[in-house]
């Protein structure tokens, strides 16, 4: 009976058969596309760290070299930082502040900078260093003569694999850092029995360390981090490696564990520290590492692997991108990178895009530290820029993809850090500037320092807290979570409060300005080589955003009416943006920009992206000026700068120029003089490696397909000719909409399905006319978008230099619709 019921009704109707065939065909196409989501190579890394492949679970991470005879897993743990709880305010600042301001207003910038160096910049720590733990090393005697070598990182599974053949035996190594189990797991297997023999070691570059073998054949590496800049290193860490073998012998040789003639082996590595929080190091590293180890060690490898993949894919699978595939995708990753500029290889962009999401999932997990300058991957005790948090661009950039690529939960470590800075930064505001609220300068670290570091040229900038506080507000705009907003409102308000106390009236212009400040790391020639200034455009834009977010948040929560009124009236007195004599957006209050300045920071374009103060629809001349600024600054630059430029050109609605920047960024390092690029393992090269460029570019690619900052959900705003046909699913917009599916053909939007998770008006801007899938017509949008998540803040009318002849740009036509939506419902649209 059962047999018949299974087969009989199924092919009754030929259309069912056709549907099944079509379904199988789709699976085939899909699996072809997904097979591409691997970084793979046919050579080992050698001793080049930037060839090795990153794995991580937000807490523990490793770089997998895939070397045959001596395999190395370089290990990191997110709280292994030099130093210990400390503060770095300079209390002399308060007394010096009036004089510094006077000098700046008198145009004596060099003298102001000298005074700031003497009295404002910290005399203490300039920030601590994120440090490596050490290495897990496996030595395979006699494996120097191998063939059929292959290694990969599968970013759909977050697992590395290395295979090779020695004496007719195929060896396989797999490794992952388990999300649910918090340990690294390495499995060694062979296709013939009793063939696995190797010795295992843990090594560390740290001065304070102890390596021993515990009773259960477990190697223990204990260490203590470095002292740095007068701060004693007090983070204690413990890495444990334990081995489970099937068949064969296991023994001890000094501090190594030796396995002989096993069928297969699983190595577990657990690392923990005594770090509880930025002001508490009272944890027990050994106990913690042992708890994770014991729990994991009793599990079966296949079960752990399945649980790891499931936990990872919960995030990763939310977004799919397909830009088509060409022959080039059959090449190893390093060869694709080499050829990318001169080949059509759209799926390489897909790979790089998804690699950015992979890196965020692997380096930023709730409860852990935010992704630092190198994410969570660093081999050194003294990394470049300490691998810390540079908050005048780099840290913010790390989190640009978080919300829109549907990884909202992974924003949490950054949001938590901002809440902590809003505590530590209170004392800095008070002690250094006599202000209420909180402030952070251009760098911070795991101890949440908020004082100014590095020298006035870089460190005088105090917009770090203001810029970061925007992330608190943005998370609300995507999630609509009011209880969350209530919990972070004190920090949003605190950032605004700082500026209400810190702003002063400019004696010449009468505007309220941040002084001292700078336009990060840049200085006009006219200012005697000093960066210190009053009212830089970026500072003005940040204060505008800080005030606007505080106003809107307080309105949502129904709190602080009086404070809001104060912010509104102060906001009116901020300097307007200005268009200068080179038809550029001015970087400073005075029209002193050099059109031949190719500085990597284009901080005044903060107003174009990530902020939204420069809009083609609301202030077209400013938009045109922003374009001139972009053109004057040029394309080639450091890695992260090019990543930012992808976002800017997407906002410029110029897909081909955005694509050009992707091409520039996806070049092997050294291809273009003076520029960054990409390493073989697809890490971004500043150079050296900085992860911000990876995240910035992933954000920029998203902005090419969808933007939701300018009062509407703008679909396909910046498609380049190369991505003429494609599909993306799972992107998130402000106001809680999910683009569950979007397809385009020959540059035309042909299908889009959008889920409304919060309800409210969905204002859509599209490159061509669309209608409901049912055939029903859409309503044309009129006036302001009634959906408050899309509220845009009116900026002051820009000032235009008399020497400028700026004209608005010719924009591509778009169509604007309003669709009332209900929470939880989906809406489908097709080409009209």
Q: Does 385 bind ligand FUC (CB under 6 A)?
A: yes
Q: How far is the CB of 732 from ligand FUC (least distance, A)?
A: 28
370 or 616: CB nearest ligand FUC? 370
137 or 684: CB nearest ligand FUC? 684
What DSSP string runs through 698-712?
HHHHHHHHEE-SSSS
What does the per-residue mask of binding to ligand FUC show for 547-586, with x meaning CB under 6 A?
Answer: ----------------------------------------
346 or 688: CB nearest ligand FUC? 688
Are the CB atoms for 353 and 700 separated by under 8 Å? no
> How far apart are the C-alpha atoms of 418 and 415, rounded to whole Å?
5
Q: Does 138 bind ligand FUC (CB under 6 A)?
A: no
489 or 648: CB nearest ligand FUC? 648
Q: How far is the CB of 131 from ligand FUC (least distance, A)?
A: 17
Q: Are strands 134-139 and 147-154 parallel, antiparallel or unpaired?
A: unpaired
> How far apart are the C-alpha atoms of 255 and 317, rounded to whole Å?
42
373 or 625: CB nearest ligand FUC? 373
Q: Does 521 bind ligand FUC (CB under 6 A)?
A: yes
117 or 203: CB nearest ligand FUC? 117
Q: How far is the CB of 532 from ligand FUC (least distance, A)?
A: 16
Q: How far is the CB of 601 from ligand FUC (least distance, A)?
A: 6
Q: How far is the CB of 386 from ligand FUC (least distance, A)?
A: 9
Q: Does 394 bind ligand FUC (CB under 6 A)?
A: yes
Q: How far is the CB of 295 from ligand FUC (least distance, A)?
A: 38
Helix (H) or strand (E) holding 147: strand 147-154
Are the CB atoms for 290 and 378 separated by under 8 Å? no
Distances (CA, A) of 497 to 376, 502, 568, 689: 33, 9, 13, 37
Three-state DSSP class for residue 105? helix
Three-state DSSP class for residue 229? coil
> How far apart are the C-alpha atoms of 278 and 275, rounded to whole Å?
8
How many residues in the shown chain lie near ligand FUC by CB under 6 A?
A: 11
Say how many Å lie between the first and final Cα of the chain, rounded. Answer: 49
Task: Please state the length of the chain.
Answer: 832
Q: CB-side exposure of 294: number of CA atoms within 13 Å?
A: 7
What does the per-residue mask of binding to ligand FUC show for 681-720, with x meaning CB under 6 A?
Answer: -----x---x------------------------------
244 or 600: CB nearest ligand FUC? 600
Q: How far is the CB of 388 from ligand FUC (least distance, A)?
A: 8
Q: Does 390 bind ligand FUC (CB under 6 A)?
A: yes
Distances (CA, A) of 221 to 213, 242, 255: 9, 12, 10
Q: Does 373 bind ligand FUC (CB under 6 A)?
A: yes
Are the CB atoms for 606 and 544 separated by under 8 Å? no
SS (H, E, C) 464-511: HHHHHHHHHHHHHHHHCCHHHHHHHHHHHHHHHHHHHHHCEECCCCCC
583 or 690: CB nearest ligand FUC? 690
Q: Does 457 bind ligand FUC (CB under 6 A)?
A: no
> How far apart are the C-alpha atoms of 541 and 349, rounded to whole Å?
32
60 or 518: CB nearest ligand FUC? 518
Q: How far is the CB of 599 from ligand FUC (least distance, A)?
A: 9
What does the per-residue mask of binding to ligand FUC show for 259-278, with x meaning CB under 6 A?
Answer: --------------------
Are the CB atoms for 349 and 662 separated by under 8 Å? yes
Q: How far is the CB of 641 from ligand FUC (least distance, A)?
A: 7
| Number of other CB atoms surrounding residue 92 within 10 Å | 15
What does the per-residue mask of binding to ligand FUC show for 478-517, with x meaning CB under 6 A?
Answer: ----------------------------------------
Here the tokens at position 756 are 């409304």
Quickly tell me which residue has 């990876």 as its tokens: 694
Q: How far is the CB of 546 from ligand FUC (least distance, A)?
A: 21
55 or 373: CB nearest ligand FUC? 373
Distances (CA, A) of 175 to 64, 136, 267, 399, 509: 8, 12, 9, 27, 61
Q: How far is the CB of 395 from ligand FUC (least distance, A)?
A: 9
Q: How far is the CB of 62 from ligand FUC (least distance, A)?
A: 23
Q: Which of 173, 600, 621, 743 binds ligand FUC (CB under 6 A)?
A: 600
The footprint of ligand FUC (CB under 6 A) covers 373, 385, 390, 394, 521, 600-601, 638, 640, 686, 690
């Amino acid at each position: 009976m059962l047999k018949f019921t299974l087969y009989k009704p199924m092919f009754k109707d030929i259309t069912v058969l056709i549907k099944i065939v079509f379904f199988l065909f789709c699976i085939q196409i899909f699996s072809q596309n997904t097979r591409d989501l691997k970084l793979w190579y046919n050579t080992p890394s050698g001793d080049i760290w930037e060839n090795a492949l990153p794995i991580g679970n937000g807490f523990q991470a490793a770089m997998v070299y895939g070397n045959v005879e001596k395999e190395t897993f370089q290990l990191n743990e997110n709280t292994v930082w030099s130093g210990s709880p400390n503060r770095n305010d300079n209390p002399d600042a308060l007394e010096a502040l009036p004089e510094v301001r006077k000098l700046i207003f008198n145009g004596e910038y060099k003298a102001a900078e000298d005074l700031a160096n003497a009295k404002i910049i910290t005399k203490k720590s300039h920030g601590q260093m994120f440090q490596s733990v050490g290495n897990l090393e496996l030595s395979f005697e006699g494996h120097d003569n191998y063939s059929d070598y292959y290694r990969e990182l599968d970013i759909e599974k977050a697992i590395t694999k290395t295979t090779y053949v020695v004496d007719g035996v195929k060896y396989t190594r797999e490794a992952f850092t388990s999300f649910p189990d918090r340990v690294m797991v390495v499995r060694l297997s062979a296709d013939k029995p009793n063939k696995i023999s190797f010795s295992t070691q843990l090594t560390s570059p740290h001065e304070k360390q102890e390596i021993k073998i515990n009773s259960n054949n477990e190697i223990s590496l204990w260490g203590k981090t470095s002292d740095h800049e007068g701060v004693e290193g007090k983070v204690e860490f413990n890495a444990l490696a334990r081995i489970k073998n099937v068949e064969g012998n296991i023994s001890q040789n000094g501090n190594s564990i030796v396995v002989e003639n096993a069928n297969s082996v699983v190595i577990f590595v657990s690392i923990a520290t005594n770090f509880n929080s930025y002001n508490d190091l009272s944890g027990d590293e050994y106990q913690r590492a042992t708890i994770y180890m014991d729990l994991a060690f009793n599990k079966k490898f296949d079960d752990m692997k399945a649980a790891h993949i499931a936990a990872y894919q919960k995030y990763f699978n939310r977004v799919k991108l397909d830009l088509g595939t060409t022959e080039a995708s059959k090449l190893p990753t390093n060869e694709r990178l080499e050829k990318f500029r001169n080949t059509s290889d759209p799926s390489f962009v897909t790979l790089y895009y998804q690699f950015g999401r992979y890196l965020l999932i692997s380096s930023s997990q709730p409860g852990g530290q935010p992704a630092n300058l190198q994410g969570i991957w660093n081999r050194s005790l003294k990394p470049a820029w300490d691998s810390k948090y540079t908050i005048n661009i780099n840290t913010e950039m790390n989190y640009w993809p978080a919300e829109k690529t549907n990884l909202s939960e992974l924003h949490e470590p950054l949001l938590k850090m901002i809440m902590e800075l809003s505590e530590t930064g209170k004392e800095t505001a008070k002690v250094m500037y006599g202000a209420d609220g909180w402030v952070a300068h251009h760098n911070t670290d795991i101890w949440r320092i908020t004082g100014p570091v590095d020298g006035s040229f870089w460190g005088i900038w105090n917009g770090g807290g203001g810029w970061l506080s925007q992330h608190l507000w943005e998370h609300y705009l995507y999630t609509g979570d009011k209880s969350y907003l209530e919990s972070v409102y004190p920090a949003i308000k605190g950032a605004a409060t700082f500026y209400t106390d810190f702003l002063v009236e400019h004696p010449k212009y009468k505007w309220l300005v941040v002084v001292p400040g700078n336009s990060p790391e840049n200085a006009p020639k006219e200012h005697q080589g000093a960066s210190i200034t009053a009212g830089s455009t970026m500072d003005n834009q940040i204060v505008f955003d800080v005030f606007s977010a505080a106003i809107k948040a307080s309105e949502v929560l129904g709190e602080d009416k009086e404070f809001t009124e104060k912010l509104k009236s102060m906001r009116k007195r901020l300097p307007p943006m200005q268009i200068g004599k080179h038809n550029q957006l001015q970087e400073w209050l005075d029209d002193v920009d050099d059109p031949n300045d190719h500085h990597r920071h284009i901080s005044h374009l903060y107003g174009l992206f990530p902020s939204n103060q420069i809009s083609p629809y609301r202030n077209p001349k400013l938009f045109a000026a922003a374009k001139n600024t972009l053109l004057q600054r040029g394309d080639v630059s450091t890695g992260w700068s090019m990543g930012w430029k992808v976002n800017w050109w997407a906002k410029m609605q110029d897909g081909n120029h955005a694509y050009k920047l992707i091409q520039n960024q996806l070049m092997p390092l050294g291809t273009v003089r003076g520029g960054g690029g990409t390493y073989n393992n697809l890490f971004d090269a500043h150079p050296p490696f900085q992860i911000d460029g990876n995240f910035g570019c992933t954000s920029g690619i998203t902005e090419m397909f969808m933007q939701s900052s300018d009062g509407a959900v703008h679909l396909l705003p910046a498609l380049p000719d190369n991505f003429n046909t494609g599909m993306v699913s799972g992107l998130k917009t402000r106001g809680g909409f999910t683009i569950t599916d979007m397809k385009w053909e020959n540059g035309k939007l042909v299908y889009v399905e959008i889920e409304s998770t919060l309800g409210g008006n969905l204002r859509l801007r599209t490159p061509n006319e669309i209608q409901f899938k049912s055939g029903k017509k859409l309503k044309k949008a009129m006036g302001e978008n009634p959906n408050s998540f899309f509220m845009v803040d009116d900026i002051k009318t820009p000032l235009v230099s008399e020497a400028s002849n700026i004209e608005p740009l010719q924009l591509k036509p778009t169509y604007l619709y309003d669709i009332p939506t209900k929470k939880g419902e989906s809406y489908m649209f097709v080409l009209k």
